[in-house]
Structure 1
Amino acid sequence: MGKLKKSVYSLSGKEEDLKDFKISMQNKIGHKRMLIDFERQDEEANYGKMPYFVYSGAVEFPAQLAISILSELGLGSDKLNFQKGTEIIFDNHGESYSYVKFDEIWDFIKKLNEKNFLVAMLLIASSNNHWVSITSIQQLIIRELKEYKIEIDYSKSSVFIAMSFGEEMLKARKSIANVVRDFGYEPMFIDSKEHNNQIVPEIFSEIEKAEFVISDLTEQKRGVYLEAGYALALKKQVILSCEKEDFKNNHFDVSQINTIVWSDENDLESRLRERIKAMHNLVKV
């Protein structure tokens, strides 16, 4: 059971509010989806049938968010049908991505009990994904949570990220943080945390709390090796990565570990997504 689900299941005395919240959300999201469909039909009536990629963001649901929902509920990927799409930018094919049809996941969510339904709604409301299928309903969810006075004391699970803090690594840092957030985790960079303690105990404390650890070995910082080793000693899952040109400088003791060797930040982001999916064994795409 995920941390958010535990927080939701600890609610007491809110059973009627949760029932009413679910009914209200079903009605309002259903109505919102109907308006989106009507708008598309009107545009096609006036301008002709549109290519699928024009409205795909409104009818598809991002795989990473679907994975977060399944993971939080303790369910496997067989509950949903994951598909592959390809980004189209100015008629050019871009990178592939994974998604679930919105109607399919919405039917799945509607069948959940009131507390699991709330878990799914909270994850959608807090997502930083910019697909229309998500942004079009986030404010609806937030308003209804306030209407029914549903408050959850919840902090996201963290992922500890060990890497060089040099300026040359800022783009890689951003790429790693983006992926971690897309999977519903909070990235923990120790240099971003306010504290008044000695640094090493603080690092160890954050590693102990983390769901897993990502260690990028680029620039060969000894502290990164120390942090990865500590996480492994705790039997935590550790994902290693390193920039391609710097990989030959790695210490011998990690040469046999499956490492993401990346050529640029886009490559790092893409391969890290796939590694986290494989690590959780949640989806095959």
Structure 2
Amino acid sequence: MKFKIEKYFRIFLNEEFEKLSIECPICKFKAFKTESGKKGDCFFIVCPRCGEYEISETLNAELKSKEPDLMLSSYLRRLYEFRKDDEPIGPLTTYNIDSLKKDAERSKPEYSEKIYLLLKAIEHIQEYTGEDIIVWNSSGSESNFDKAKFELFRAYFLAMTYSSRGKELEYLFHSLRELGYLQYSNVMLNLQEGFPNYINITPYGYKYLEEIRNKERFETNKVFIAMAFKPENDNIYKTIKQVLNKLGYDAVRVDKEHYTGYIIDFILAEIKESRFVVAEITDKNLNVFFEFSYALGHKIPVIPLLKKEKDEKDPFEKIPFDIKQFNTIVYENEEQLKEKLRDRIRNLFGRYKV
């Protein structure tokens, strides 16, 4: 999911913003209060640092006299920015705030992880590979748009790296450059916090991100299920999901998930983040074959499934020649599928261990 910068520009560049803005009760940045929340005493806040969240009036009043909680702010922003749907976090209430603070404290990253998180955050806002990200206007213009863009990017990077101040963020930027993962251009030393005008990820930076993602994939319990979406396949899906769940894996099928943007982007992202793919190829569905091929192209293991119909001599006759080369599970009923799939996963990947 891309950084929701357009939404933030629309809000924070609105001429009415100064009149309607409030202080974020969590980080104390200038934020925007929107319509009432789902519950009677709740409302929504859009904050450049915390993201979007729902909070109760009671908790809001309680936090007004408190110091900024930047750890909680960073935790909420990470939850919001990388979730599949576009819904705000929350509601935050007096009943769950202590638990959230403990979760935030446990999620605090070490230096090496902060380096990775900053590089990942930069990639997250790039529209395409190699795009220069403007963090300050090189012409020296001080238009409202340029100021807002700098402040929004800065707040975003502060939150995503759990940085408490600009100097810490500056150090992380310089660390990425020293490591060869980031390059600066048009550096103007008199700028706020020593930031450059443009930043860009180097080839070494992209390679580093890919290596970390591959490592994360081998540690994930996510499994993508590629199959035709039709009622006749519902029981097959339930059987696959049951096997995966019993072995500690989380089944992902796109029609069962919430997402924003283009569905193809969501599908490809889910496949790349999966430990392996289970592909039901009986229906010769073109989308399934595409997902099958995409997974193989990214070196993600695929377990093909093929149903043998009653009185069918050779079920492989109905699938393309290239697919026949793979070690496919052939089954006649759901019980047989359950047993064969369970044994295959155990032998290849084992039970997922948290």
Alignment TM class, shorter chain as reference: 0.3 to 0.5
Larger RCO (alpha carbons 8 Å, 6+ apart): 1
Higher helix share: 1
